[in-house]
Amino acid sequence: GNSVTQMEGPVTLSEEAFLTINCTYTATGYPSLFWYVQYPGEGLQLLLKATKADDKGSNKGFEATYRKETTSFHLEKGSVQVSDSAVYFCALSVVPNTDKLIFGTGTRLQVFP
């Protein structure tokens, strides 16, 4: 079946550190891949997406590259800020099963000054 595996959190970093949150997926077909972010007390916001192999999604300094050969979509940021503290969800969507989003378990990021 289709699934997403994310690294366990929390990830604790100092401000300006480099961030990687690992995400791997299993999918039948050709999924689109997404990263969503959930700030404390808020809903989910789309951070970035990639719809085909080798695509790179980027937004607000975050990047992720769709790697078909390793079935991965790792999230990276060169220099994190305290305001990046949130829970990050990797997700996939694949038709023709349905276009529902299948989420990973989420990774909590805590950034300290």
Partner 1 sequence: DSGVTQTPKHLITATGQRVTLRCSPRSGDLSVYWYQQSLDQGLQFLIQYYNGEERAKGNILERFSAQQFPDLHSELNLSSLELGDSALYFCASSVSSGEQETQYFGPGTRLLVL
Which residues here bind partner 1, judged by CB under 8 A? 30-32, 34, 36, 42-46, 49, 51, 89, 93-95, 98-106
Count CB neighbours of 69 within 10 A.
7
Q: Which CB, 13 or 27, lies closer to partner 1? A: 27
User: Closer CB to partner 1, residue 21 or residue 102?
Assistant: 102
Strands 11-14 and 107-112: parallel
Provide the terminal-to-terminal Cα distance of the chain, rounded to the nearest Å.
41
If the CB atoms of residues 46 and 53 are measured against partner 1, the closer one turns out to be 46
